[in-house]
C-alpha cells in the first residue's frame, strides 16, 4: 500500500484531506469525520515487498498503545483499520510546533530551554504512570502546544507493560534513534523508564549547546560507546550555562541508569527549582575525563549486559515518589510535628528513591504586623527554611533527596494543593487541624480542604502518630 489516497475519498466514514507527510514508513493525511469534534489525522503505513518489518510492527504497536493511553500529552485515539485489509490509525491532530524546528536555533535561551525540558518531563511522567515507555524521545517526536505543554508522538518503538512487546519479539538488535538511544536500549533492555530520562537529557544538551553529546553513530560499536564515554560538558561548549543546569543534564545522561534521575517527575522538579539542585563534581567539569579514566570505564563496560527491570513502569516509579510534608514551623516541638516526622520517615524508608519536600505556607510578608514588619522578606524566608531543615534532619536523607520550600499565600490549602499538582507529588503528609489553625468556614480546616481537593494521596496524622485518613 504505497499509493497516496486521493483527497475527497471516504474511508470507513473518514473523508481524506491533504497528505501532510510522505515518509519512508508511510503517509499522514488530514481527515474529517463524525467520530470527533476536534481536528484529526490518519496515519497509514507502507506495506509491501521491500518494506522494513519494523515499520508495520511499529504501526501495530502504536495502535495498541494509543488505544490504552489517556493523557493531554498524547494524541487522542479515534479509530483504527483492520491490519489485514486497510491498516490506518486515526488520532487527534495536534496544533503545535515540532521541537525539531527549534534545534536549528540552538543554543536556546535559558528560560525557554528550561521550560521545554520541564514540559517534556511532565509528558514522560504521564506516560510512565500508565505503564508505557516511549523509547524514541527526540526533537522530531515532540510537539509543543501554543500553551507550552508538550505532546509525545510516534509510538512505534514504545513498550507497554500490559501489551506484547512486538519489537522485542521481532527484532534481535538495538532499536532506537542513534543520537538519543539509551545505554540499556543498546543492551536490549526495553522496560526501564529511565531510558526516556536519558533521551530527554540528550535532547536538552542539544538544545543548550547546538551539539549532540554522543554524535550520530552508525555502527553497533559506536552505539556501545555511550556505555562508558563521557561527553564534553555543556559548559565547555556554552560557558554562560549555569552550573545547576549542567548538573541536571549530565545527571540525566549518566551511562548507568541508577545514577540518573529515578523518574521524569524528579527531573522536572529540579528544572523548576534550580535553587534546590545539589551540585556535585558534574557541575564543575570543564572537559572530558582523562585517557586512563576512560580506559577503566571501557573495561567495565566491555562485559556489561542489560539488566531487565522488575515490575511495570508505574510500579518502578513507586520507589521514587515525590513526598510533601506540610510542616507547621511555628510548633516544631509539639506532639503533632513529632508524629508527622515519624509518619514521613516510615514512608521514605520504604521507597529507596523517594524525594522529600518539607514545605510550609506562610501569609504574604506584606501582611505581617507588629515587630515582624521590621524583618525583611528574605529574613522571614530564611528563618523558616532553617526551621524546615531542622525538622527534616532526623530523616538522614542525602542532599539530592531533600528539598525545603517556603510558600507565601493567603489561601494555604490552595497553595499546597497547587504545588503538589505542579510538581507531580505522589503523597502529601499533613497534620490534623492544629489548635491554632484558622478555620475556613463550615467547620472546614486547611487539612480538610487538602484532603478533599488534592489530586494525589493524602495522609493525615494525629498527635498520637496514627494515620487518620488516606485519599487516592
pLDDT in tens, 20-69: 988 767 899 999 997 788 999 999 987 765 555 566 888 899 999 999 99
What grid cell was written down for 71? Answer: 493523557
Confidence of residue 466 (pLDDT cuts 50, 70, 90): very low
**Mean per-residue pLDDT, 264-280:** 96
Q: Using CB atoms within 10 Å of the CB of residue 323, give its burial: 0 to 12 exposed, 13 to 18 middle, 19+ buried.
A: buried
Return mean pLDDT, the chain: 87
**What percent of the chain clears pLDDT 70, i.e. is strictly above it?**
87
What is the model's pLDDT at position 289? Answer: 74
What is the model's pLDDT at position 296? Answer: 75
Per-residue pLDDT reduced to its tens digit, 342-358:
999 999 998 989 999 99
CA distance 404 to 276: 8
CA distance 162 to 2: 32
- Which of 1.10.8.60, 3.40.50.11290, 1.10.8.420, 1.10.510.10 is the CATH number of 97-162+170-310? 1.10.510.10
Per-residue pLDDT reduced to its tens digit, 58-76:
889 999 999 999 999 999 9
Residues 123/69, Cβ–Cβ less than 8 Å: no
Residues 130/68, Cβ–Cβ less than 8 Å: yes
Of 312 and 84, more confident: 312
**Mean per-residue pLDDT, 149-177:** 83
What is the model's pLDDT at position 462? Answer: 84
Of 161 and 220, more confident: 161
**Mean per-residue pLDDT, 196-209:** 98
**Mean per-residue pLDDT, 88-115:** 96
What is the model's pLDDT at position 78? Answer: 95
Q: Domain limits of the chain?
A: 10-92, 97-162+170-310, 321-471
Indicate whether 108 pLDDT > 80: yes
What is the model's pLDDT at position 309? Answer: 74
Per-residue pLDDT reduced to its tens digit, 212-269:
999 999 888 888 888 888 899 999 999 999 999 999 999 999 999 999 999 999 999 9
What is the model's pLDDT at position 437? Answer: 54
Confidence of residue 438 (pLDDT cuts 50, 70, 90): low
**Most confident option among 131-140, 442-451, 463-472:** 131-140
CA distance 242 to 210: 16
**Mean per-residue pLDDT, 161-179:** 77
Among 129, 28, 134, which residue's Cα sits nearest to residue 71? 129
Confidence of residue 388 (pLDDT cuts 50, 70, 90): very high
Q: Using CB atoms within 10 Å of the CB of residue 104, give its burial: 0 to 12 exposed, 13 to 18 middle, 19+ buried.
A: exposed
Indicate whether 86 pLDDT > 90: no
**Mean per-residue pLDDT, 168-180:** 74
- Superfamily holding 10-92: Phosphorylase Kinase; domain 1 (3.30.200.20)
> Is the whole-model pTM more than 0.75?
yes
CA distance 81 to 214: 39
**What percent of the chain clears pLDDT 90, i.e. is strictly above it?**
63
Q: What is the 3-state secondary structure (H, E, C) of the chain?
A: CCCCCCCCCEECCEEEEEEEEECCCEEEEEEECCCCCCCEEEEEECCCCCCCHHHHHHHHHHHHHHHHCCCCCCCCEEEECCCCCCCCEEEECCCCEECHHHHCCCCCCHHHHHHHHHHHHHHHHHHHCCCEECCCCCHHHEEECCCCCEEECCCCCCEECCCCCHHHHHCCCCCCCCCCCCHHHHCCCCCCCHHHHHHHHHHHHHHHHCCCCCCCCCCHHHHHHHHCCCCCCHHHHCCCCCHHHHHHHHHHCCCCHHHCCCCHHHHHHHHHCHHHCCCCHHHHCCCCCCHHHHHHHHHHHHCCCCCCCCCCHHHHHCCCCEEEEECCHHHCCCHHHHHHHHHHHHHHHCCCCCEEEEEEEECCHHHCCHHHHHCCHHHHHHHHHHHHHHHHHHHCCCHHHEEEEEEECCCHHHHHHHHHHHCCCCEEEEECCCCCCCCCECCECHHHHHHHHCCCEEEEECCCCCEEEEEC
Sequence-ordered list of residues with C-beta below 8 angstroms from that of 438, at least 6 positions apart, any chain: 445, 446
Indicate whether 370 pLDDT > 60: no
**Most confident option among 112-116, 175-179, 227-231:** 112-116
Of 365 and 271, more confident: 271
What is the model's pLDDT at position 170? Answer: 62
What is the model's pLDDT at position 227? Answer: 87
Q: Phi/psi class of residue 370: alpha, beta or left (left: φ > 0; alpha: ψ in -120 to 50)? A: left
What is the model's pLDDT at position 295? Answer: 74
Of 204 and 378, more confident: 204
Among the listed ranges 173-177, 211-215, 343-347, 415-419, which one has the minimum average pLDDT value? 173-177
Indicate whether 297 pLDDT > 80: no
The CATH architecture annotation of domain 321-471 reads: 3-Layer(aba) Sandwich (3.40)
Amino acid at each position: 500500500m504505497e499509493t497516496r489516497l486521493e483527497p475527497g475519498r471516504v474511508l470507513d466514514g473518514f473523508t481524506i484531506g491533504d497528505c501532510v507527510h510522505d515518509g519512508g514508513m508511510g503517509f499522514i493525511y488530514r481527515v474529517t469525520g463524525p467520530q470527533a469534534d476536534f481536528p484529526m489525522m490518519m496515519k497509514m503505513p507502507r506495506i509491501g515487498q521491500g518494506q522494513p518489518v519494523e515499520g508495520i510492527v511499529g504501526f501495530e504497536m502504536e495502535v495498541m498503545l494509543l488505544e490504552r493511553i489517556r493523557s493531554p500529552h498524547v494524541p487522542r485515539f479515534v479509530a483504527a483499520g483492520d491490519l489485514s485489509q486497510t491498516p490506518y490509525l486515526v488520532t487527534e491532530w495536534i496544533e503545535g510546533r515540532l521541537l525539531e524546528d527549534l534545534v536549528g536555533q540552538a543554543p536556546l535561551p535559558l528560560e525557554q530551554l528550561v521550560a521545554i525540558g520541564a514540559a517534556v518531563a511532565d509528558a514522560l511522567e504521564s506516560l510512565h504512570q500508565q505503564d508505557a515507555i516511549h523509547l524514541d524521545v527526540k526533537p522530531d517526536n515532540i510537539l509543543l502546544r501554543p500553551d507550552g505543554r508538550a505532546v509525545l508522538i510516534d509510538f512505534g518503538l514504545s513498550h507497554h507493560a500490559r501489551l506484547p512487546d512486538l519489537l522485542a519479539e521481532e527484532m534481535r538488535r538495538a532499536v532506537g534513534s542513534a543520537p538519543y538511544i539509551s545505554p540499556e536500549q543498546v543492551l536490549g533492555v526495553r522496560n526501564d523508564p529511565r531510558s526516556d530520562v536519558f533521551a530527554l537529557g540528550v535532547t536538552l544538551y542539544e538544545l543548550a549547546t547546538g551539539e549532540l553529546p554522543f554524535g550520530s553513530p552508525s555502527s553497533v560499536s559506536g552505539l556501545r560507546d555511550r556505555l562508558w564515554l563521557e561527553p564534553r560538558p555543556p559548559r565547555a561548549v556554552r560557558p554562560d550555562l549555569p552550573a545547576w543546569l549542567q548538573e541536571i543534564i549530565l545527571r540525566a545522561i549518566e551511562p548507568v541508569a541508577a545514577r540518573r534521575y529515578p523518574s521524569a517527575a524528579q527531573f522536572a522538579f529540579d528544572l523548576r527549582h534550580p535553587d534546590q539542585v545539589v551540585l556535585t563534581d558534574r557541575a564543575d567539569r570543564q572537559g572530558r575525563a582523562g585517557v586512563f579514566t576512560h580506559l577503566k570505564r571501557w573495561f567495565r563496560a566491555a562485559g556489561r549486559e542489560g539488566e531487565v527491570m522488575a515490575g511495570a513502569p508505574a510500579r518502578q516509579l513507586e520507589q521514587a515518589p515525590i513526598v510533601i510534608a506540610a510542616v507547621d514551623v511555628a510548633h516544631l516541638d509539639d506532639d503533632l510535628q513529632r508524629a508527622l516526622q515519624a509518619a514521613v520517615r516510615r514512608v521514605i524508608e520504604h521507597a529507596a528513591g523517594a524525594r522529600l519536600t518539607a514545605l510550609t505556607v506562610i501569609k504574604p510578608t506584606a501582611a505581617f504586623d507588629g515587630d515582624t514588619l521590621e524583618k525583611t522578606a528574605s529574613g522571614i524566608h530564611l528563618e523558616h527554611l532553617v526551621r524546615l531543615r531542622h525538622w527534616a534532619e532526623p530523616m538522614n536523607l542525602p542532599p539530592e533527596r531533600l528539598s525545603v520550600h517556603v510558600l507565601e499565600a493567603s489561601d494555604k490549602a490552595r497553595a499546597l494543593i497547587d504545588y503538589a499538582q505542579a510538581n507531580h507529588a505522589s503523597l502529601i503528609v499533613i497534620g490534623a487541624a492544629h489548635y491554632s489553625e484558622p478555620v475556613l468556614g463550615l467547620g472546614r480546616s486547611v487539612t480538610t480542604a487538602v484532603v478533599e481537593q488534592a489530586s494525589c494521596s493524602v495522609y493525615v496524622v494525629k498527635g498520637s502518630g496514627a494515620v487518620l485518613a488516606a485519599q487516592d
